[in-house]
Amino acid sequence: MGESVDIMRQLVKMVARTQQRELDCGEVFAVLDQYTEAIVAGEDVSAEFALVIQHLDLCRDCLEEYEALLSVLQKIH
């Protein structure tokens, strides 16, 4: 009895993980200028770019790219 509940919990966790698929660097890079524009414009990016934010948290390369882009855009605006 207790065992089948554990299996159900593991299944639920697996499904949740699959749905919240992480982006790779190429996918982040593809939307990074859009994301940075939205940041500079002061838009709420937390929903639309949740996966990008998550990736920038974990990936130093993309974070540096983002910061470089941000400083360029902030000079223009």
Check binding of 62 to Zn ion (CB under 5 A): yes
What minimum distance in Å lies between the beta carbon of 9 and Zn ion?
A: 31
Size of the site for Zn ion (CB under 5 A): 3
> Environment class of residue 50 by beta-carbon count within 10 Å: exposed (0-12), middle (13-18) or buried (19+)?
exposed
What minimum distance in Å lies between the beta carbon of 8 and Zn ion?
A: 34
Residue span binding Zn ion (CB under 5 A) among the ranges 1-9, 13-21, 23-31, 41-49: 23-31
**Cα separations (Å) of 10 from 2, 13, 20, 21?**
13, 5, 15, 17
